[in-house]
Amino acid sequence: MILDLFRLDGKVAIVTGAGRGIGAASALALAECGADVVIASRTQSDLDHVAEQVAKTGRRAVSVAGDLADLDVVRSLVSLAQNEFGRLDVVVNNAGGAIPLPFFDTTPEYLEEAFHFNVSTAHALNLAAVPLILEQGGGSIINVSSVMGRVSGRGYAAYGTVKAALSHYTRLTSKDLAPRIRVNAIAAGSTATSALEIVTTTPELKSMMEGLTPLHRIADPEEIAAAVLYLASPAGAFLTGKVLEVDGGGDIPTLDFGLPDL
């Protein structure tokens, strides 16, 4: 059956930023389809909740609470996967983000910090993970990027730039790692995560975002997780170097900060 192509029985995945939102939904989706997971985020209580949900699927989750901007913490996830499960098949680089700022507030230091958190950490994890993935004959890497990596709007100089970098990093590394490891990305649109809580709980802002999205709503984290599952599983076996645009059809920023002309 076609649904069998979405199974990940006996596989092991690492998911960063897995305490809430897209990362938590992705970890649970992978577990529901048969994978054990290594999950990481800053807050242990969030990870404990996700691990409990994973356990209900019959799979196992091991967690690391730490600062994922710390490259040593990121690299440790691969050792944990090897020690706990003896293999690694899937990496989901979901940790990232940067607060939009006006142009003059976007300092070089802030831009470098955003690049480190969104791109360098993903590369560090991939560098550590690839040898272990190759031991299994191959696998899949998924980088969670953003629609802002391809559209433009005021205030997004740092966030949009680093997400564009992550998307093109995906295309470039897919060539480096073909044919045994597939590398793809998801350009996610506005999604109802804790990062957008102030927006989704403010009627005016929520209405703005919905109105600027052709499907007239904000994504649920499970909808992004479904794309992660597709790219991780045999169902996506003929995709590499692609950026899936899971964005409700949007081609402009859905949040306008109203920044004036200089």
Active-site residue numbers?
A: 159
**Dihedral Cα 234, 22, 192, 201, nearest 10 deg:** 170
Distance CA 129, CA 81 (A): 9
Question: Taking the chain, what is the end-to-end CA distance rounded to the nearest angstrom?
Answer: 58
Distance CA 202, CA 69 (A): 30
Residue 135: φ, ψ to 5°: -60, -25
Residue 125: φ, ψ to 5°: -65, -40
- Helix crossing, 71-85 with 121-135: angle to 10°? 20
165 CB-near residues (< 8 Å, 6+ apart): 115, 118, 119, 149
Helix or strand (DSSP H, E) at 38: strand 36-41
> Do residues 61 and 81 lie in contact, with contact meaning Cβ atoms separated by under 8 Å?
no
> How many Cβ atoms sit within 10 Å of the Cβ of residue 49?
14
What's 166-209 look like in SS3?
HHHHHHHHHHHHCCCEEEEEEEECCECCHHHHHHHCCHHHHHHH
